[in-house]
């Protein structure tokens, strides 16, 4: 990811500004406020603004005048309790706003989370940058034979080279046609041949889905945790997981107690069905329980055995 001199100057100018405030701030998040965190080849995510911290969660849970308690372990204990018992409303009291640059196909997957406020870069009014995502060799995988949404073995040799050539060639060609239809050169200047060019809202339509777009995305902490529980999961598509992993690092800077509870009870924990819990109890009593007499499907059984480390 490379920033233009203008973009870097804008960030530097923002970071030179300072304001006295009575609001809560997080020094560890202030350190990287406005600064882009690189993701994929040309993408980034950066925090633009935020409201609240761990103490705001505690304050909302107790509906008190204070910011929390004098003992961090007491706040941590309450946050753990809220996370453990899924009392989510206090987490809605905190909000964060990101600026994200991401491939269009990732954005279309991301936007399925309808619990945020979004404003996307408009290709009706502006011209999209000549930047598109090309997977790293280690992410260039075949379709999984066992999972319709997953990847299988990594492509190698001539096959991998051919796929990369297709991806790059298609992106280059369609962007070239985009410029031609706009009647502009790659620098954004209008060509001097007398043509007015096609409307931007039409010229954009044949660009490849790996073209980068940008948006501002604002969300409360509760819904952010739900997003991360799905997108920072090992089963999530790599490209969106790369953004979620960066957001997890930012979460730890912003609300470290909440992040720790989330990683313990959500990311590192597991929910068991009534039948699965019954199997665990019977096994603890020494019974030799098998899938056939568990009342569980073969898939449910495999998933339970994986959670218990008994595959």
Catalytic residues: 231
| Exposed e or buried b per residue across 252-281, where buried means at least 16 C-beta atoms within 10 angstroms of its C-beta | bbbbbbbbbbbbebbeeeeeeeeebeebee
Element (H, E) at 43: strand 43-51
Query: How many angstroms separate the CA atoms of 311 and 303, rounded?
Result: 9
Return the residue matching tokens 């031609």: 180
Structure tokens given for 96: 């964060």
Angle made by CA atoms 307, 88, 253, in degrees to the nearest 5: 80
End-to-end CA, the chain: 41
Q: Maximum Cα–Cα distance for the chain, whole Å?
A: 85
């Amino acid at each position: 990811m490379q920033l233009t001199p203008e973009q870097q100057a804008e960030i530097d100018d923002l970071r030179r500004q300072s304001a006295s405030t009575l609001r809560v701030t997080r020094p560890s998040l202030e350190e990287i406020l406005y600064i882009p965190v690189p993701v994929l080849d040309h993408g980034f995510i950066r925090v633009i603004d935020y409201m609240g911290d761990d103490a705001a969660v505690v304050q909302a849970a107790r509906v008190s005048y204070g910011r929390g308690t004098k003992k961090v372990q007491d706040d941590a204990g309450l946050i753990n309790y809220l996370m453990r018992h899924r009392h989510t409303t206090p987490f809605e009291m905190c909000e964060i706003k990101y600026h994200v640059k991401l491939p269009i196909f990732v954005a279309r997957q991301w936007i399925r989370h309808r619990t945020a406020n979004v404003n996307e870069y408009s290709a009706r009014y502006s011209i999209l940058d000549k930047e598109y995502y090309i997977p790293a060799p280690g992410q260039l995988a075949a379709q999984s034979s066992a999972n319709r949404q997953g990847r299988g073995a990594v492509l190698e040799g001539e096959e991998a080279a051919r796929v990369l050539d297709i991806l790059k060639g298609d992106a280059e060609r369609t962007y070239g046609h985009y410029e031609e239809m706009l009647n502009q050169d790659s620098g954004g200047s209008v060509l001097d041949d007398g043509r007015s060019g096609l409307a931007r809202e039409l010229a954009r339509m044949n660009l490849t889905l790996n073209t980068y777009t940008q948006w501002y995305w604002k969300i409360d902490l509760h819904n952010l945790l739900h997003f991360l529980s799905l997108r920072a999961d090992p089963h999530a598509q790599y490209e969106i997981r790369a953004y979620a992993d960066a957001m997890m690092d930012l979460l730890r800077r912003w609300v470290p107690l909440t992040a720790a509870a989330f990683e313990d009870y959500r990311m590192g924990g597991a929910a068991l069905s009534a039948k699965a819990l019954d199997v665990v109890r019977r096994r603890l009593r020494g019974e030799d329980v098998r899938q056939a007499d568990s009342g569980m499907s073969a898939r449910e059984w495999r998933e339970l055995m994986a959670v218990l480390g008994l595959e």
